[in-house]
Amino acid sequence: MLLELNDVSLSLKRDGKYVKILDGISLQVKKGETVGIVGESGCGKSMTALSVMRLLPEKAKLEGVIQLDHEDITSYSKRKMEKIRGNKMAMIFQDPLTSLNPLHTVGRQIEETLILHTDLNKEQRKRRVIELLNEVGLPRADEIASEYPHQLSGGMRQRIMIAVAMACNPSLLICDEPTTALDVTVQAQILDLMNHLKDVNEMGIIMITHDLGVVAEVCDRVVVMYAGKIVEQANVKELFINPKHPYTKGLLESIPKLGVKKAKLGSIPGMVPSPDKMPKGCRFYERCSSAMEVCKGTTPPMSSVGEEHTAACWLYEEKGGEMNGSSGSEGLEATLHN
Amino acid sequence: MALLEVKDLKQHFTIKKGFLGEKKKVKAVDGVSFHIEQGETLGIVGESGCGKSSLGRTILQLIKPTSGDIFFGGKNITHLPRKEMKELRKDMQIVFQDPYASLNPRSTVRAILETPLIVHGVGNRQERRKVVEGLIDKIGIRKDQLDRFPHEFSGGQRQRIGIARALTLNPKLIIADEPVSALDVSVQSQVLNLMVDLQKELNLSYMFISHDLSVVQHISDRVAVMYLGKIVEIADVEELYRNPLHPYTKALLTAVPIPDPTKKRDRIILQGDLPSPINPPTGCAFHTRCPVATPECKEESPELREKAMGHWASCIHVHHEQSEKTKINIS
Ligand SMILES: Nc1ncnc2c1ncn2[C@@H]1O[C@H](COP(=O)(O)OP(=O)(O)OP(=O)(O)O)[C@@H](O)[C@H]1O
Ligand SMILES: Nc1ncnc2c1ncn2[C@@H]1O[C@H](COP(=O)(O)OP(=O)(O)OP(=O)(O)O)[C@@H](O)[C@H]1O
Ligand code: SF4
Ligand SMILES: [Mg+2]
Ligand SMILES: [Mg+2]
């Protein structure tokens, strides 16, 4: 296993008090695998990524265990984290303009990562920069290396970000909405590039996106988050064909699909609860059309609902109960009611 | 007669560029013609900077067109005096992308919805109250929420308030500029469903601007595809998505990631980025990225022509499906 999150929770200080933003996140990424994280705005996708990278706001309280290559990195010092960031793991953000330094040429920014993490000499670094720019599909690499971020288009900047991230051949690459700010034709180029790099480098990738089309196209496995918790996990085909959690179902029904014209889209009524007013039971309860009495008061455990397919919903607790060995009497009753 | 008709509309912005403040022209809208029928939705798609918003704002005459004509209900409204234009604004409304920025944060929802009525001197207090309460009922917001402020609502609710505001004066046409782009999918579908319901109920016409091809397919009766200030293809929605003719439309459609992992498609990956509208390429503006471009494309400026019944495209390599080539003439 390349990356393993075990019961990770994160609390952030808001208006003087701690609010739990992530609650018991457990997920895994294998070598060469792309795992998608989807969910509504504010559900904690970025915070999950930033917890792994330990790029958290001040006074953040992180609990649980995060292992990279079987090493517990939660206990790493700041310095040690700095060393593995950009080296063993790297991250790409939605807006390349805010993560690139406007005052330095793009060549220099790529080179800086190489200075920080490799023993290459100046000559070798220059060559590696050109090589990287070529790898991410930028023409005229020589010229582009001496240009500044604002001189490049959005798609080119995102390619530079990818080049920076790839500079040290990280084993884990985290992408937070890498194509959201791009036009579809440019997004297609970047996704194509990422698919290619993934095949070549055997990286593990976390792909955070709100676009289920992107998920279907690049991910092997999907993690669905809702209000700071994981509600479902499955391989990509299984998730799209056989979604189990009512939230996932609602999400899939609400997207208009190219080539399919429907009179009416599905939709999920209501809105996401805010982190400081989380309901006691299932966090989806208020918006769920299958909700039962048990859902209101008690948080549903993660149940196995198929092969490597889990969902946190009382509808499935009967089956999950057998497999988990936990008694599911409440859930059983609930299922019967349904 | 079409509700809205636009003929050879141009919007050229003059900007100062470079050290010497040299003046340059941005041809944001460059000779666009189309019409929208009563009760119909025309979708406008295209990549960032192709001129979608400029087109919408020019039609509403929030910016004066450089040239061309706009007809509304058969009447040329391009050079109307101010007063008449104000009267006409009631019939044409706009909904913006950003539900956060487009509502006054210091006004209650009631005030936001009542203001257009007051500005246009509609009804007395009590009548206005009735209109407002009827409206929020349509958009699924409760009466007891009327005295709340925009920040107390979610993004989807705010966008619905934006739609209600556009509806206060009983418009015939709504120009919606990326109305769901800032919303989560589950909320996006609430707003789209609402727009469809309202259209049926009120026989509204929509010009629906979006960069999202799936959303546009869902809501539109006809769709126009823009590239660098021009319409390159326009057709009925089913026809356009099933049988795209222009190479740009084809590429655009294959580029959209499809939320179905069992489908693997051949994708046309375009090289490069959108060229600048300041110095657009000669001939067919798409030739720099077009996978089937020939030397002629560099020279010849293709016109939008009808290639099949009601299906118009501007590409010299797309041939007419019937024998005769017809020149564009939408009236
Ligand atoms: N610096 C911060 N301090 C306190 N709370 C924060 C901070 N940054 C984010 N949050 C809160 O943490 C929660 C999760 O945010 P996060 O950015 O992870 O969401 P997300 O799933 O990435 O959403 P989006 O799709 O909008 O990017 C939200 O409720 C957000 O308001
Ligand atoms: N007021 C203005 N002055 C000068 N140039 C402008 C002005 N408004 C728009 N432009 C330019 O006109 C072109 C078209 O812009 P427009 O906003 O209409 O595109 P769009 O299709 O709506 O793009 P997006 O999808 O990003 O909203 C762009 O190159 C833009 O920079
Ligand atoms: S646990 Fe209950 S409320 Fe939650 S998703 Fe399942 S059925 Fe709905
Ligand atoms: Mg985020
Ligand atoms: Mg726009």
State pLDDT tens for residues A9-23: 999 998 889 999 999
A76, two tokens? 């790493």
- Give A177-223 pLDDT, tens digit per residue: 999 888 899 899 899 888 888 888 889 999 999 899 999 999 999 99
Which residues lie closer than 8 Å to A306 by C-beta, 6 or more apart?
A234, A238, A242, A244
Q: How far is B78 from chain A (nearest CA, A)?
A: 32
pLDDT the model gives residue B18: 67
CB contact under 8 A, B258 and A188: no
For B98, B227, B288, B291, the CA distances from B294, given in Å and listed in that order, are 41, 19, 10, 9
Q: Which of B100, B145, B184 to mutate to test the interface with A (most CBs of A within 10 A)?
A: B184
* Domain residue extents for chain B: 4-220, 249-331
In sequence order, what are the beta bridge partners of A230? A225
Nearest protein Cα to ligand 3, atom 6:
A313
Q: pTM of the full predicted structure?
A: 0.89
User: What is the distance between the alpha carbons of residues B234 and B221, in angstroms, rounded to a whole number?
Assistant: 11
DSSP assignments along A26-66, one per residue? EEEE-TT-EEEEE-STTSSHHHHHHHHHT-PPTT-EEEEEE
- B20 DSSP assignment: T
Please tell me the distance between residue B6's alpha carbon and the centre of ligand 5 in angstroms: 19
CB contact under 8 A, A216 and B270: no
Chain B nearest-CA residue for A266: B189
Return the residue matching tokens 């009753």.
A333
Task: Give the residue, A241 or B134, on which the prediction is more confident.
Answer: A241
Please tell me if residue A265 touches chain B, with a CB cutoff of 8 Å.
yes
Chain A nearest-CA residue for B141: A270
Chain B nearest-CA residue for A153: B273
H-type alpha helices, chain A: 45-53, 78-84, 96-99, 106-117, 122-135, 141-145, 154-166, 184-201, 212-218, 236-241, 246-254, 293-297, 317-324, 329-337
pLDDT the model gives residue B66: 97
Query: How many pairs of residues across A and B have Cβ atoms under 8 Å apart?
Result: 127
Query: What are residue B68's phi and psi, to 5 degrees?
Result: 100, 175
**B184 neighbourhood in chain A, CB within 8 Å:** 40-41, 210
pLDDT the model gives residue B182: 82
Q: How far apart are the first and last CA of chain B?
A: 9
Question: ∠A89-A210-A309 over CA atoms, to 5°?
Answer: 75
pLDDT the model gives residue B92: 95
Give the number of C-alpha atoms closer than 13 A to the C-alpha of residue B102, restricted to the C-beta side: 23
Mean pLDDT of chain A: 89
User: What is the distance between the alpha carbons of residues B285 and B298, in angstroms, rounded to a whole number?
Assistant: 8
CA-CA-CA-CA dihedral for B73, B76, B79, B85, to nearest 10: -10
For B16, B44, B230, B276, the CA distances from B54, given in Å and listed in that order, are 18, 12, 12, 15
Assess whether the C-beta atom of B16 lies below 6 angstroms from ligand 2: no
Q: Which of B221, B248, B260 to mutate to test the interface with A (most CBs of A within 10 A)?
A: B260
Give the number of C-alpha atoms closer than 13 A to the C-alpha of residue B130, restricted to the C-beta side: 6
Pick from A236, A241, A258: which is nearest to B217 by CB? Answer: A258
Query: What are residue A62's phi and psi, to 5 degrees?
Result: -105, 125
pLDDT the model gives residue A326: 41
The mean per-residue pLDDT over the stretch A230-250 comes to 97
B11, two tokens? 């919007």
Of the options 3.40.50.300, 3.30.910.10, 3.90.1560.10, 3.60.70.12, the CATH number for the domain spanning B4-220: 3.40.50.300
Residue to mutate (ligand 2; options B24, B52, B64, B225; most atoms within 8 A of CB): B52
One-letter amino acid of A264: K
Assess whether the C-beta atom of A300 lies below 6 angstroms from ligand 3: yes
Residues with pLDDT less than 70, chain B: 18, 321-331
How many CB atoms are closer than 10 A to CB A273? 17
Dihedral sign for Cα atoms in the order A120, A125, A129, A134:
negative
CB contact under 8 A, A212 and B262: no
- Give A61-81 pLDDT, tens digit per residue: 999 999 999 999 999 999 999
User: What is the distance between the alpha carbons of residues B32 and A285, in angstroms, rounded to a whole number?
Assistant: 49
- Give A106-162 pLDDT, tens digit per residue: 999 999 999 999 999 999 999 999 999 988 888 788 889 999 998 888 888 999 999
Return the residue matching tokens 């209101």.
A296
**What 3-state class would DSSP assign to B79?**
coil
Dihedral sign for Cα atoms in the order A68, A72, A78, A80:
negative
pLDDT the model gives residue A331: 39
**B266 neighbourhood in chain A, CB within 8 Å:** none
User: What is the distance between the alpha carbons of residues A32 and A52, in angstroms, rounded to a whole number?
Assistant: 18
CA A242 to chain centre: 21
In chain A, the domains with their CATH numbers are: 3-225 (3.40.50.300), 227-257+282-335 (no CATH)
How many CB atoms are closer than 10 A to CB A196? 13
pLDDT the model gives residue A14: 83
Q: Which of A157, A159, A185 to mutate to test the interface with B (most CBs of B within 10 A)?
A: A185
How many CB atoms are closer than 10 A to CB B248? 29
**A158 neighbourhood in chain B, CB within 8 Å:** none
Nearest to A312 by CA among A222, A221, A244: A244
How many CB atoms are closer than 10 A to CB B81? 7
pLDDT the model gives residue A31: 94
Dihedral sign for Cα atoms in the order A202, A203, A204, A208:
negative
Please tell me if residue A258 touches chain B, with a CB cutoff of 8 Å.
yes
User: What is the distance between the alpha carbons of residues B146 and B112, in angstroms, rounded to a whole number?
Assistant: 10
Task: Give the residue, A276 or B174, on which the prediction is more confident.
Answer: B174
